[in-house]
Amino acid sequence: MSALPPGPFAQLAALLGKVEPGKPPISLSIGDPQGAVPGFITEALAREAKSFGTYPAITGTEDWRNAAASWLNTRFALGGKIDPEKHVLPLAGTREGLFSVLFPLMPLAKNGARPIVAMPNPFYQCYAAGVLAAGCEPLYVPATEETGFLPDYAALPKATLDRIGAVYICSPSNPEGAVASESYWKTLFELAERHDFIVLADECYADIYFDEPPITALTARWKQTGGISRLLTFHSLSKRSGLPGLRSGLVAGCGLLIEKFRGFRNVAGPTVPTPVLAASAAALRDENHVAANRAAYAQKLAAAERILGNRMCRPEGGFFLWLKTGNGEQTALRLWQEQGVRVLPGAYMGREITPGETQSNPGFSYIRVALVSDLSTIMTALERVRSGTL
């Protein structure tokens, strides 16, 4: 794990250090959804509190499995393809699943060499941590304005593609808010078939969008083949329901891959407490709170467009702004020092394409701004961001 640099927030803490904020501080650096917890969530937790006295099953409860499968089948128009007994597993937060999924699924070697696992650059830190912990070679594939802020895996050399064991893809993407099209998914799955690898779709932001619901991996794969082979997709109640403290997510997809992952988790993976499963099932069965969350994010995005104008590129989904400012690290330091606004330098989520050339990092010119506070706080902070980035 020595190949893994400090996490982005550790780097941010080192950058700002003992620098005093120029105004009362507002943090827009962490994607930590904030808001009221729906009453039905607390009721479900209280109703099942007695089950804290027993060990939960690795596969969750029957009620949770049915709720998860029903939501997936309905939300992604799968016509009942998702079997609650074969195609879903609960996760103690999606991050732990994204991290540990490679351990039981990656071979020791692929075509005579160490397996490669590819990911977008910039990327969610746990992807790289999982790749390195599983003994694989990470490959950081640029996701830039020129590639639509998604990695162009099809452009990789054949020799590289033949060594790939899995790829991560995030849509809507973190940090850019880009959404994979149906043709993007089709090309990616054709590559997976041709070069024998797994697609790990991080779709935690799939229910936070501003126009049409995004085309998702399950829908695209099912439409392409009538099946869901070579695919595992990850979803999160932290994002969908605004419940990050619940630490509840799910993984769904290919039955053979789910079976292997379940076997691994049965001896090594964390289980989800039964009261949390009850609350999660209730959340998956309710769309009203999801629609309310989505409407609140739409208000914040509209405010950002009014305040920042052409300084911002409108995301298609998620709750981040990816703002091009010239030098993201310098901008982040200045915004804190002069305006009291804490944002994340884009470079802290990326890797240099050319070693030693800092500007080759796809995130170098950007800052990431999280629209997770209340509307009034967001508007105040964005006014300061506008003043601080002139």
At 308-366, the pLDDT tens digits run: 998 888 999 999 999 999 999 999 999 999 999 999 999 999 999 999 999 999 999 99
Instruction: Report whether pLDDT(202) > 90.
Output: yes
Decide if pLDDT at 8 tops 90: yes
CB 228 within 8 A of CB 87: yes
198 phi and psi, to 5 degrees? -105, 145
Closest CA to 29 of 350, 320, 383: 320
Q: Residue 34: its pLDDT value, please?
A: 81
For range 188-205, the mean pLDDT: 98
Mean pLDDT of 252-269: 95
Give the Cα separation of 168 and 116 in Å (integer): 11
Share of the chain above pLDDT 70, in %: 100
Contact 57, 372 (CB under 8 A): no
- At 51 the pLDDT is 95
How confident is the model at residue 33, as a pLDDT? 87
pLDDT band at 167 (very low <50, low <70, confident <90, very high): very high
Domains of the chain, CATH where assigned:
8-31+289-388 (3.90.1150.10), 41-286 (3.40.640.10)
- The yes-or-no verdict on residue 5 having pLDDT over 80 is no
- The model's pTM is 0.96
pLDDT confidence bin for 171, thresholds 50/70/90: very high
Strands 366-370 and 116-121: unpaired
pLDDT of residue 166: 98
CB of 388 closer than 8 Å to CB of 335: yes
